[in-house]
Amino acid sequence: MTRDARLHERATDERTRTIDWAALSHAVTPRALRYRAIDVGVSTDKRRYDPGEPVEITITFRNRLPIPIRIRTDSPNYWYWTVDGLRAASQVPRAVPDRPAAFSFTRRERKRFQRQWHQRMQVSEDEWQPVDPGTYTLAVSLTRSDAAARGLIDHTTIEIVD
Amino acid sequence: MSLGRYVGRRLAVTVPVLFGVTALTFSFVHLLPGDAVDAIVGFRAVSPATEAATRAEYHLDQPVWDQYLLWLRDAITLEFGESPVTGRDVSATIGRRLPATLALGGAAWLLALAIGIPAGIVAAVRAGEPADEVGRLAALAGIATPNFWLGLILLFVFSVRLGWFRVLPPDAPLVSLATAKFLVLPTITLGTASAALVMRLLRSSMRRELDATYVTAARAKGLPERTVILKHVLRNAVLPVVTVAGLQLAFLVDGAVVVEGIFSWPGMGRLLVQSVLQRDYPVIQAIVLVIGIAIVLANLLVDIVYAILDPRIRY
Amino acid sequence: MSDRQPTTDRGRIRIVGFDEATEQKRDSDASSDAADADGAAADQSIASRAATGIESTTASTSALAQPGRRLENAWRRFRRNRSAMAGLAVLIVMTVLAVFARPITVATAEVTVTLQPFSLAPSDPAAMFVGPPNASPSPAHPFGTDWAGRDQFSRVLVGGRYTLSIGLVAVGLALCVGVPLGAIAGYFGGWIDEAIMRVVDVLYAFPFLVLAIAIVPILEPVPILGSGYWTVVVALAVTGWVGYARLIRGEVLSVREREYVTAARALGVPDRTIIRRHVVPNAIAPVVVQATLNIGTVVLTAAALGFLGLGLEPGSAEWGAMLAQGRSSLLRGDWHVTVFPGLAIFLFVLAINLVGDGINDALEPNRDVDDDRRRMR
Amino acid sequence: MALLEVEDLVVQYYTDDGVVRAVDGLSYEIRAGETVGLVGESGAGKSAASRAVLRLLDGTGEIVGGEIRFRGRDIRELSADDLQAIRGNEIAMVFQDAGAALNPVYTVGEQIAETIRVHEDASDGEARNRTIALLDRVGIPNPAARYADYPHEFSGGMQQRAVIAMALSCDPAVLICDEPTTGLDVTVQAGILELLAELAAKSETAIQLVTHDLGVVAELCDRVLVQYAGEIVERAPVDELYYDPKHPYTVGLLAATPRLDDDRERLPTIPRPAPDLVDPPTGCRFHPRCPYAEDCCASRRPSLVDPVSGRPVDGDPETHVAACLEYTGDLEAGLDYEVQIRDDADSNCRERKQQGEPR
């Protein structure tokens, strides 16, 4: 399981390193610079889709600076994606604790994640509805109330055509 | 295999090493260029009568093998003769200096454990938190600081500037408040690096053990967290620290040589340096022999303690 | 509930239909049945995600894919290690300062060749009374002066030459002795191993510094060792090789049992070639790490020897020796004489430790350096 | 009131990729003395679910929702002291890797006696005697002598027995066994299963058995919960599950279970890997892998219903329920599989069950 592998990697890394440069860098890097360092991006494999065709979404976070960066988030769910403003294409709110956490990047790190949108909206706990053809805005944002003001969001549009 | 048989086998390996240590120490004067007599009397011009007497005393007129056996016999009975430089009895001199070094070394060792073990535990349990970061940086600094420099700084700050620890009255008995107070600075100087090593080692081995399933199992049994850490995790994590105990002793002896000089502490280390500067070979020989044997025996003891602590080792 | 009979006849249950349905579905997927299309696509994406994991693009992902480029990968890992790079930077700066502190000349009877003409240090480290004695730091003498009025700044810069070169040369010599002996002991085993390892055990019984101190009077009368510099180097090498021999023997013992060594043996490759080509390269990584860390130990020991007044000529601009001279100044209250040489040693040893840890992480990320540290000292 | 009630349990792990919902709305109950199996592929969140019961989640794992009631008290609300009083005493755990679950530097006896001393006011001698009796009970020969043995002196099977003895030391009301036989030899497995079966039959201890092995479940359990992608998809008394599986996932698992008399060339498997719990499929989570999936499966999440009536779960945990849209009448083609019972004497004797003809 990748999560175990990553936890393990983190553990060994944490065990052998001599100085916590991430913490040091966090302590000395000005806040404004920290936000500006992180580049948030969202893209799709195509512009136009047939109805029912899955939309491949690629979410990228990139640390532009050659120093480790940590960004405080309002939740351990560091980021979320939306379709027309609906989180994870769902009208049903998900229980995610709203305690602060930190999204960490090593120097010049690029994190890339994939999501799929099957052109369905979750309308209730147990129901999803296919969307109609039209234009949709896919966006990604760090989980911060001031994400838009800090530039920690990105969006793209796609078109579903019959 | 029982613990007794393990100890027996371990002893069997130790005996040849002990012989090797004595042989190396013995060959010491013979490795010097020129005649061994010259070395023993300190490269002075001496009368033929004295030379003959020295030859007889150190059995230099006999084959090397016999010389070694005779020397060994003398060494076992602690007969190292007189120092040609000071004229004092070597055994008596060492006998006077040894307690001072043991007191300093013992105090530093205790300090190293008293700081290193709790610091290591805290750093491991609070890994990544500020306490851990500070501890880790301090440990790194502790390892990199030359003890003679640290000694000088402490001496300057606390003795010269603050005047807290003044010079030791020369006639103060070893067990006295004055001596204990005087020993504070040398002990800190000597113990710092050891404490740092112990802390680093314990931290990393505790981190490893904390991930083990038996820790979760111990929690699942309903043991209090204290018991889980101090009884289950620590007992396993301390094993690598025990293996360094022998090396720590060697490390402390090395440190004592320097630290005793800085603080004018009348121990074996200072005696060794003085003897080397004066080319007082019989004394050097005796000191090196005592240290070598002490460390061999200490390593034997460490192995036995390790076997008691880790039941897997006996099989 | 507990009185239920266990199901004993499950061996006779068989499901029919599921597998066939699965096959059918595969077929219909292939013909891109509209009803199943998005389900199938979802599966593909899940499969592809499972295969690639969560992609966190760093330099190592591409590097790891290429085998046989161990050193290059190690260097990449090392470069990403900030503390190690910081340590390396300190070492480089200190080396440059030491080399360019004063001109280096090689003098024969007739000609004097200047190898390095630069002079960063303002004055000759041995020149007395370039300033007032025991002066505090000032613009003219940034590190102050010692009891003889010598410029401390120049002496600290030039003193780096002793420290750096003693560390490198002594460790190099110790490696030249320890690695072959340890490899031979581990590879051949038997009485050769016994003999070498007993010698190692005996030498191990003496603390590093004590042994070095005891050896100094033996080495000093040896004429070719000259000024005392080589006395120190040889004393440190003689005491230092045991650790490497022990370390590499242990590694060789495990490498020896690997298939490629057995295969080479079966092919009749000579032992010497096997040791050189197969065994040592695969066992050397921890030795490299240890050697790096040991430069720190050796430098500390050399400085201790200088501090005790053993080895080098009195008055040498060696950091340890300078500290020893500073002791009497210190007791009079002049702090600056001891601060700067000590700080230099501290910085150097700190940097070496950072680099050593970094090399360890780069070469063998899963090995804990403290484990080896306890095998050495 | 059941002994242990888990209601709407949600366990999450946090990664850079997002929130992993290892357990998503899990509900079940265990009554005194019964044995309940929790079955599913690895990665289905079984271990997370059972570790959550004792609040022993590792890493970033966290219980974010639901209740875990033991004798009516919510375990999530307990103080550290109260929790410790329950762990090992009322609810005990048997770990998958017994060798790793035993501390190598203490004797097996000490590790068992320690549990008794912590929870009960027993003297050292009493704890020792009880430990020896326990070792005897789990079938360790010569228990008085083996008391002082260290874990490495025990074989793998004996270690697992010792771990079971440790879990039984304070007569727990609930025993959670996390893959207790995985990694053991077949013959040793059989011995451990026998021990657990005896325990289930003779003692009042309720057992929650977590496994991926349906064979193990068949031998031990009264009821079975089938977990898929963090959710329960089917719940049934054990015989009903085997002879009359209702959820396609269960059917797939059963089809993939090897048999002694197998004459098939290869085992059928459920196609494609288990879903990533960071981004689970919409609708029925099994639909991307289900051979019977239709359009509606992607847009509607089935709830646990009685397959016959199609009505939601009532209070009785004995009721056979499954979460498939087939049973609410939403599937058009139905589920097409059959369970054959093959008799050794006469392989022609078949009981044929046909499911879900088009309505």
Please tell me the CATH code under which domain C71-131+145-376 is placed.
Answer: 1.10.3720.10
∠ CA B103-B105-B110, nearest 5°, is 95
Interface contact flag, D272 C46, Cβ < 8 Å: yes
For B138, which residue in chain C has the nearest alpha carbon?
Answer: C350
- Strands C112-116 and D73-74: what pairing? unpaired
Residue among B146, B161, B288 whose CB faces C300 most closely: B146
Give residue C233's pLDDT band: very low, low, confident or very high (50, 70, 90). Answer: confident
In a domain, A9, yes or no: no
Could you tell me which residue, A14 or D52, shows the higher pLDDT? D52
Q: What does pTM read for this prediction?
A: 0.75
Distance from CA of A11 to the nearest CA of B (A): 9
CB B195 within 8 A of CB B109: no
Q: Which domain holds residue A155?
A: 19-160
Whether the pLDDT of residue A58 is over 90: the answer is yes
Q: What is the pLDDT of residue C150?
A: 78
The H or E element spanning position C85 is: helix C82-99
Give the mean model confidence (pLDDT) for residues C241-247: 86
From B166, which residue of chain C is nearest by alpha-carbon distance?
C331
Among the ranges given (B303-312, C278-287, C349-358, D174-183), the one the predictor scored with the smallest mean pLDDT? C278-287
Mean pLDDT in residue range C272-299? 82
CATH class of the D1-74+175-181+205-359 domain in this structure: alpha beta
For residues C337-356, one letter each, b for 16 or more C-beta atoms within 10 angstroms of the residue's C-beta and e for the rest, the string is bbbbbbebbbbbbbbbbbbb
Fold classification of B97-314 is MetI-like fold (1.10.3720)
Q: Report d(CA D337, CA A74) in Å as an integer.
A: 49
Give the residue extent of every domain in chain C. Answer: 71-131+145-376
> Is residue D197 scored above 80 in pLDDT?
yes
- Return the pLDDT at A19: 55
> Which of these, D281, D325, D323, lies nearest to D304 by C-alpha position?
D323
D15 touches chain A (CB under 8 A): yes
Which residues of chain B fall short of a pLDDT of 50?
Answer: none
Q: Which residues of A touch C365 (CB under 8 A)?
A: 12, 16
At C112 the pLDDT is 73
By CA distance, what is A53's nearest residue in C? C38
List the alpha helices (DSSP H) in A29-146.
31-37
What are the tens digits of pLDDT across the range D321-355? 999 888 888 888 878 887 777 655 444 444 444 44
> Are the beta carbons of B287 and B268 closer than 8 angstroms?
yes
Whether residue D283 lies within 8 A of chain A, CB to CB, comes out as yes
Q: Is D64 an 8 Å CB contact of chain A?
A: yes
Report the range of poorest mean pLDDT among A50-59, C221-230, D29-38, D319-328.
C221-230
Average pLDDT for C126-135: 72
Rounded to the nearest angstrom, the minimum Cα separation between A18 and chain D is 22
- Asked whether the beta carbons of D19 and D13 are under 8 A apart, the reply is yes
Residue with tokens 């023993």: B40
Pairing of strands A38-44, A55-63: antiparallel
Q: Is the pLDDT of residue C9 over 70?
A: no
Number of separate domains in chain A: 1
Where helices occur in A17-157 by DSSP H, the ranges are: 21-28, 31-37, 147-150
From the CB of residue D330, how many other CB atoms can be counted at a distance below 10 Å? 16
Question: Residue B258, SS3?
Answer: helix
- Structure confidence at residue C26 (pLDDT): 66
Reported as a pLDDT band with limits 50, 70 and 90, residue A89 is confident
pLDDT of residue D262: 58
The helix/strand/coil state of A155 is strand
Give the whole-angstrom CA distance, residue B306 versus residue C1. Answer: 51
Look up the CATH number of the domain holding residue A68. Answer: 2.60.40.2360
Q: Give me the mean pLDDT over the D151-176 stretch.
A: 91
Preferred mutation among C9, C10, C24, C33 to probe D, highest tally of D CBs within 10 A:
C10
- B146–C350: do the CB atoms touch at under 8 Å? no
Looking at chain C, which residue has its C-alpha nearest residue D284?
C39
Question: Could you tell me which chain C residue has the CA closest to the CA of A120?
Answer: C38
Chain D contacts of C12, Cβ < 8 Å? 341-344
* Pairwise CB contact (< 8 Å): B291 & C345: no
Chain A residues inside the 8 Å CB shell of D300: 126-128
Asked if residue D33 lies in contact with residue D25, where contact means CB atoms within 8 angstroms, the answer is no
Separation between Cα atoms, residue D172 and residue D102, nearest integer Å:
19
Look at residue A9 in the predicted model and tell me its pLDDT: 36
In a domain? residue A53: yes
CATH 1.10.3720.10 domain extents, chain B: 97-314
How would residue C183 be classed by pLDDT, with cut points 50, 70 and 90?
confident
Q: What angle do CA A98, A104, A107 make, to 5 degrees?
A: 160
Q: Which of D248, D251, D272 sits opposite C47 (nearest CB)?
A: D272
Give the model's pLDDT for residue B63. Answer: 77
Residue D39 has pLDDT above 70, yes or no: yes
For B156, which DSSP code?
I
The Cα–Cα gap between B236 and A145 comes to 46
- CB contacts of A4 in chain B (<8 Å) are none
Chain B contact present for D244, CB below 8 A:
no
The pLDDT tens digits for C34-47 are 434 344 333 333 33
Residue A103, chain D, CB below 8 Å: the answer is: yes
> Per-residue pLDDT for D113 more than 60?
yes
Question: Sorting pLDDT into bands at 50, 70 and 90, what band is C226?
Answer: low
* Cα C182 from Cα C189, distance rounded (Å): 10
Each residue's pLDDT tens digit, C11-40: 556 777 777 777 776 666 555 444 343 443
| pLDDT (mean) for C109-130 | 72
What's the confidence (pLDDT) of residue D263?
61
**pLDDT level of residue C50 (50, 70, 90 thresholds):** very low
User: Quick check: C369 and C360 in contact, CB under 8 A?
Assistant: yes
Nearest to C21 among D218, D219, D292 (CB): D292
Which subunits sit against B, judged by 3+ Cβ pairs under 8 A? Answer: A, C, D
Structure tokens at D172: 């727990």
Nearest CA to B122 among B211, B207, B236?
B207
For D79, half-sphere exposure in the C-beta direction (CA atoms, 13 angstrom radius) is: 2
Residue type, A131: V
Per-residue pLDDT at C10 exceeds 60: no
pLDDT tens digits for range B105-147: 999 999 999 999 999 999 888 877 777 778 888 888 888 888 8
**Which of B152-161, C195-204, C307-316 has maximum average pLDDT?**
C195-204
Which residues of A are less than 8 Å from B140 in CB distance?
18-19
Q: What is the pLDDT of residue B47?
A: 76
The phi and psi torsions of B86 (rounded to 5 degrees) equal -100, -15
Tell me, yes or no, whether A14 lies in a domain: no
> Does residue C350 have a pLDDT over 70?
yes
Residue A7 lies in a domain: no
